[in-house]
Amino acid sequence: MEQLIERYSGPVTARYSYMNEFIVCCPRCQHEAVISTGSSFSCENAKLNCSHCNHSEKAVNLTFYKVSVRAHCDTCGKGINRVIPHSKEKVDGFAISCAACGATRIYRARNEEHSRTYSKADQGQDPIFGLPLWLQSDVKGNLLWAYNRLHLREIKNYVRAKLRERQTTTHTTMVERLPAFITEAKSRAAVLKAIEKMERL
């Protein structure tokens, strides 16, 4: 069992500070994979890499556009309806021939951006690809998770501390926003045991 420390003196960081890296389950081989977002959290630049099976993905490839044209033919008034459900790029407009009279003209298109993820991002999943986080464990029916090992270590340091002083008056830090089941004294032993298990993953 981890020895308790007297006072928590960790960095004044928000949860956002730990979102430059996510350790997740690889969607191909289910081993540990890493999503890197760069120096600051950026969905556009995020990349998924698995060193076990060499699977690689870019978040930019998750974005697609539903391109649609709904109008009426200028010549005969017949309805024009065209949809491209999964376009990789935006389309300003394209030429469509009226099925009724054959008149052709360029119609302006509507582009609706969508993102395809493995699942809807929720607790225990990364917010970009929607993959299960590698570092997660059940604590008495509650889900304890961390984005990466630095995030996990900071949670651990906070839980181990006997004295937890408010770190800043300007904003609430990551550790101060942790759920009650993590910070309650009665849960300390169970939480630390779960963290030790996650550290061995």
pLDDT in tens, the chain (201 residues): 566 777 887 788 888 899 999 999 999 999 999 999 986 677 778 999 999 999 999 998 888 899 999 999 989 999 999 999 988 889 999 899 999 999 999 999 999 988 888 887 678 999 999 999 999 999 999 999 999 999 999 999 999 998 887 767 666 899 999 999 999 999 999 999 999 999 998
Dihedral over Cα of 193, 196, 200, 201: its sign: positive
Domain around 156: 1-19+147-201
Same domain, 200 and 152: yes
Tokens of residue 100, six digits: 């009724």
pLDDT at 155: 96
pLDDT at 13: 87
Distance CA 52, CA 174 (A): 31
Same domain, 110 and 67: yes
pLDDT at 118: 86
pLDDT at 63: 86
pLDDT at 154: 95
Last residue in a domain, options 115, 135, 157: 115
Q: Is residue 7 part of a domain?
A: yes
Count CB atoms within 10 A of the CB of residue 46. 24
pLDDT at 115: 81
Query: What pairing do the DSSP bridges indicate for beta strands 161-163 and 5-7?
Result: parallel
Q: Is residue 55 part of a domain?
A: no
How does DSSP classify residue 175? Answer: G
Distance CA 105, CA 142 (A): 59
Q: Is residue 6 part of a domain?
A: yes
- Phi, psi at residue 143, to the nearest 5°? -95, 120
Q: At what angle do helices 188-199 and 149-160 cross, to 10 degrees?
A: 150
Same domain, 152 and 199: yes
pLDDT at 192: 96
Full-model pTM: 0.76
Q: How far is CA 88 from CA 68, 115, 117, in A?
A: 14, 11, 15
Domain count for the chain, please give it: 2
